[in-house]
Amino acid sequence: MPRPPLTVRSFAPIAAPDARLLILGSMPGVASLDAGQYYAHPQNAFWRIMGELVQAGPDKSYDERTRILRKRGIAVWDVLKSCVRPGSLDADIRDEVPNDFAAFFAAHPRIARIGLNGGKAAASFRAHAARHCPPGVPVARLPSTSPAHAARSFAEKCEMWRAGLGLDASL
């Protein structure tokens, strides 16, 4: 019997007060919700990409990875605070409730760049959060790290993330 649609809730952000870069997903998938960790699905490329870009890869513990991100001024959060979704596919998300971006940006005034992890994060950000974004902060739509989106190679995704996040210049 199919699992009934459930209201799912995101996590608190991974963010130091002096964060300069914000990476936003849409909503954690089932594996992440079960583990209580961002990007916990073993096939999700997020932590592999973070390993290549800032040495916060899956070879380290989750606590160590999040510590590295904070130290590097990188925040991770989701656009959505909650939604109804029967599984892990972004296409199944409905009844979106956004996170409080006005409060986040007030508490993190040094955010200078935003990266959106995939199309659903980008669409939800435009619909719910863009109006709270500080003026002049560049926002980049990045290729999804989800295992459901394998149209690009890992190397291509890494380079697109590096460029989109401005890691060569800013961090």
User: Which sequence positions are flagged as catalytic?
Assistant: 44
Angle in degrees, 0-180, between the axes of helices 62-71 and 46-54, rounded to the nearest 10? 50
**Do the Cβ atoms of 56 and 46 come closer than 8 Å?**
no
Q: Which amino acid is at 118?
A: G
Strand order in the sheet with 21-25: 74-78, 21-25, 113-117, 139-142
| Alpha-carbon radius of gyration of the chain | 15
Strand duo 6-9 + 94-98: pairing: unpaired
Give the burial string for 76-109 (b: 16+ CB within 10 Å, else e). bbbbbbbbebeebebeebeebebbebeebbeebe
What are the helix (H) ranges across 24-100? 30-35, 46-54, 62-71
